[in-house]
Structure 1
């Protein structure tokens, strides 16, 4: 119980957990944790049938402790730990590990793992291959990191585009006025400000049979069919009596409104009875896309957080009367339509750029996995490795003792 540095396996890397995160879902004591030393290889060998996209192996760089649920491997004398790490990584990315699990939950024990054959070239070659892969993977990871940063900047640019357009309009020269409302701020002088109760009515219509399409509301996707969500949430046996919504209705997930979990539905369906459903008092008052984007802007979400009630940040509730008392700043429908058209055009270009970068990242990751697999299994010749038949040993082979 002397070691306080807690390690964690995250997407193929062993990281040191920050002390501020050692709360919540962690054990009261780390007494059962195992010691991990630099050079050890960690394998997450539980639930092999699930979570097949994340990486399950990692090389330890820092001395620390890690959960005993993981398999901790140390390389025997005469074997390079870095080479074996890359070899196991290739088994992971090619899904070989998933075939080794046993039992109901497809777990992998060392008793099963130790029988697995390992490609083991001479130690000198292992060192050269590992060094080659170290250099190449660093280059690939840097290229991926640059593209991920570009994606982050593009997404931020899109958010700024939406934020400015729906709260200030498209005309940068339009006269502005102070709304006098904290979460609205300055708006064009010709825009309206009204409380939600003068714009919407709360509806509480119930399904007599529960056979309508089941919808859910999240901060990421708004109102979407539950069938399109890749979640394993509890499903009720009978949805009779659930709230129904119509196309164009504004739906709030009361429990997660503080995160922006709301949306305007584009279809009829049923939702949780705990959701809030609001319908425009007059038709054609709001463009559905404009309304959803406006109510998801930073100022409005900060307002939901401020007025919501609850004992904990993750238990806040934004009730219907809170929405009805809230002021909303908006232009007329014609200007809303123009704003939405502009946003769709510009954000479409940004989304296309993000898609291209994402494809490039996918290809780089595929290339990295292929390179590692080919190098550790001898499918490609690694510079510096002397193969039978080579007439002269390469200079770097002579430098092996220094490595």
Structure 2
């Protein structure tokens, strides 16, 4: 008989999930009946709630009323039970410290007898890959009741379960604290990056230069010798259209800018045709008018085409404009506020910054030489910060690997949990 784990201590047993837990399915009340959701009383868990970090369900989870609970024939599960996602992504797991119910994308596990729930939280979390392999379906993967019930799990005596659970909580908390500290480092470095860009594109690189008021609230003062112009005097809107099926399709992503769609196809749907798409040339600025206020602006480093819904801007005078400087300026956190201020719409999700409004935004205009110096300076700083962040992310990855290995070794009895100390993994 094959298991998803290796050998266990000789005095441990192996049982199926159904021998240790009662498994309970969930349901969903009708979303359009207010009484099922108002005066909410019972936590209602979905797979999305289980994808968040941490061992326990948090208080921000949606709740349903007792009437809604009756409508969907769901049951209230006891506190100190385990809940597992059985629809993609399969295998995310949490422990609830309060009574709860779930939708049909989750299964709840109530202990039949005396077991340590924390121990089995670690066991089932460790089995995630195995659970995914058991998933079936064409539209989406789903783990059946039968498959989950018949998953084999270790079954040490309760004293061993208690010791292992305490040990893993202690050690995993230490590791998690290190990970949190490293993530905070990354956050601070990202803030530093934004500060460097903002300072450079609005103040220049000479700290001793004379300053003047820019007329733009978030900028404040700019170097006295800089000009100020509306975007329409620096860039024009290009409406050149494509008539070739061989053109490279480019997409604009808020987080990473303009990239060939072929490199990112897993993140979106592939267009059926690129005929009549807008032509983009290397050095053009691409703007998603619908999401400009969220930072969906970027310089294209590629020749290609993009959606007709996007706006393409090209410099009026290459001798005067360093496009990379304006790439950093337009993607600056505060410039998003200008796009919102000059945009219009009936609601936030329909807020657009049309070309007429975008081109009316006032921006600084250093000399071409300064623009180039500033762009090069930012690029250098970005590379330095990116390398530092990459090293920290690698350290986080190693900590997570170590955490996973530690859990496996502990729940399968391969280490003496009374003597093991947390290794220095930095």
TM interval, shorter chain, is: 0.7 to 0.9
| SS of the residue 2:57 aligns to | strand
Corresponding residue to 2:58 among 10, 16, 25 = 16
CA contact (8 A) 1:3 1:64 kept: no
**Alpha-carbon distance between aligned partners in 2 of 1:339 and 1:36, rounded to the nearest angstrom:** 60
The equivalent of 1:102 in structure 2 is: 136
The equivalent of 1:192 in structure 2 is: 227
Moved more, 213-222 or 342-351: 342-351
The equivalent of 1:303 in structure 2 is: 338
The 5 A counterparts of 1:3-402 are: 3-7=41-45, 8-13=49-54, 14-18=56-60, 32=72, 34-47=75-88, 51=89, 56-92=92-128, 95-104=129-138, 105-229=140-264, 231-383=266-418
C-alpha distance 187-311 of structure 1, shift in aligned 2 (>3 A): same
CA contact (8 A) 2:252 2:296 kept: yes
**Alpha-carbon distance between aligned partners in 1 of 2:265 and 2:394, rounded to the nearest angstrom:** 22
**Alpha-carbon distance between aligned partners in 2 of 1:254 and 1:22, rounded to the nearest angstrom:** 36
Superposed CA deviations along residues 176-197 of structure 1, whole A, max 9, x for unmatched, are 1012233543110011111122
**TM-score normalised according to structure 2 size:** 0.82
Moved more, 259-268 or 373-382: 373-382
C-alpha distance 96-363 of structure 1, shift in aligned 2 (>3 A): same
CA contact (8 A) 1:184 1:328 kept: no
Aligned length: 373
Moved more, 295-304 or 264-273: 295-304
| Shift of residue 35, structure 1, vs aligned partner | 2.9
**Alpha-carbon distance between aligned partners in 1 of 2:84 and 2:142, rounded to the nearest angstrom:** 11
CA contact (8 A) 1:166 1:294 kept: yes
Pairwise CA RMSD of aligned residues? 2.3
| Shift of residue 12, structure 1, vs aligned partner | 4.9
**Alpha-carbon distance between aligned partners in 2 of 1:166 and 1:4, rounded to the nearest angstrom:** 51
Moved more, 225-234 or 301-310: 225-234
**Alpha-carbon distance between aligned partners in 2 of 1:309 and 1:298, rounded to the nearest angstrom:** 19
**Alpha-carbon distance between aligned partners in 1 of 2:324 and 2:63, rounded to the nearest angstrom:** 41
| SS of the residue 1:239 aligns to | coil
**Alpha-carbon distance between aligned partners in 1 of 2:79 and 2:173, rounded to the nearest angstrom:** 19
| Shift of residue 4, structure 1, vs aligned partner | 4.2
Q: Which structure 1 residue ranges, 5 or more long, are not aligned?
A: 386-403
Moved more, 259-268 or 75-84: 75-84
C-alpha distance 79-199 of structure 1, shift in aligned 2 (>3 A): same
The equivalent of 1:393 in structure 2 is: none
Moved more, 212-221 or 109-118: 109-118
Q: Following TM superposition, where does structure 1 have runs of at least 4 consecutive aligned residues deviating by more than 6 angstroms? A: none
CA contact (8 A) 2:204 2:374 kept: yes
**Alpha-carbon distance between aligned partners in 2 of 1:9 and 1:111, rounded to the nearest angstrom:** 21
**Alpha-carbon distance between aligned partners in 1 of 2:277 and 2:303, rounded to the nearest angstrom:** 13
**Alpha-carbon distance between aligned partners in 2 of 1:315 and 1:91, rounded to the nearest angstrom:** 43
**Alpha-carbon distance between aligned partners in 1 of 2:282 and 2:127, rounded to the nearest angstrom:** 49
Moved more, 80-89 or 103-112: 103-112
**TM-score normalised according to structure 1 size:** 0.86
